[in-house]
Amino acid sequence: MEEFRDIPGYEGFYQVSDEGNVISLVRLTPDAIARGVRKAKQSLAFGKNKQGRLQVTLCKHGFTKRFQVHCLVLLAFVGPCPEGMECRHGDGNHTNNFLYNLEWATHTSNMRDKQGHGTNTEGEKHPSVKLTEDDVRAIRSSNWKGRDLAAHYGVSQVCIVFIKNRKTWKHVA
């Protein structure tokens, strides 16, 4: 059965469930008191950030703030994020905010998970990629000047330097 807990810092205003649902609690706002209207308990609609993670906007005393839902679940059920840690989705699905799927983990273990889940966006999987792995191999073996390579492949000279020095495209042999 779904369990709801107060969101720390928003007690009496909002709760989050172990299934990743966020609700606004019944409360009387100053406007509502003046008009005699009561704010009903309701589920909040989710938005998505640029990385595809679910987020909600919470309001308290006229101030609004956006939160990622997975962070709210861990905050309410596990506690604050320890120093140097971040949220880890066990199955790699950023929209699965069930408590059993979440934990505080290191950035390194989170990146290792991305490799295991196949959700890592390095190299050709990156949405704004301009080069292929074959292009990278050709750049590394080329005797052309950096500016000529940059013009040929439509990238910056800095990009060429980073490829040749293996600061980027490290996974390509």
- Quick one: pLDDT at residue 126? 65
- Quick one: pLDDT at residue 110? 84
The DSSP annotation for 106-126 comes to EHHHHHHHHHHHT----GGGS
| Alpha carbon distances (Å) from 32 to 15, 44, 61, 104, 142 | 20, 19, 13, 39, 71
> Is the overall model pTM greater than 0.75, yes or no?
no
Q: Read off the pLDDT of each residue in 86-108 and give the average, rounded to a whole number.
A: 92
Secondary-structure breakdown of the chain: helix, strand, coil percentages, each rounded to the nearest 5 = 35, 25, 45
Q: Does residue 16 have a pLDDT over 80?
A: yes
Non-local (6+) Cβ contacts of 34 within 8 A are none
Domains of the chain: 4-117 (3.90.75.20), 123-164 (no CATH)
Rounded CA separation 69/98 (Å): 10
Write the secondary structure of 58-97 as one string of H (helix), E (strand) and C (coil).
Answer: EEECCEEEEEEHHHHHHHHHCCCCCCCEEEEECCCCCCCC
∠ Cα 87 108 16 (to 5°): 5
- Quick one: pLDDT at residue 130? 87
122-127: Cβ within 8 A, 24+ apart: 122/171, 123/169, 123/171, 123/172
Band of residue 93 on the pLDDT scale cut at 50, 70, 90: confident
Contact between 105 and 92 (Cβ < 8 Å):
no
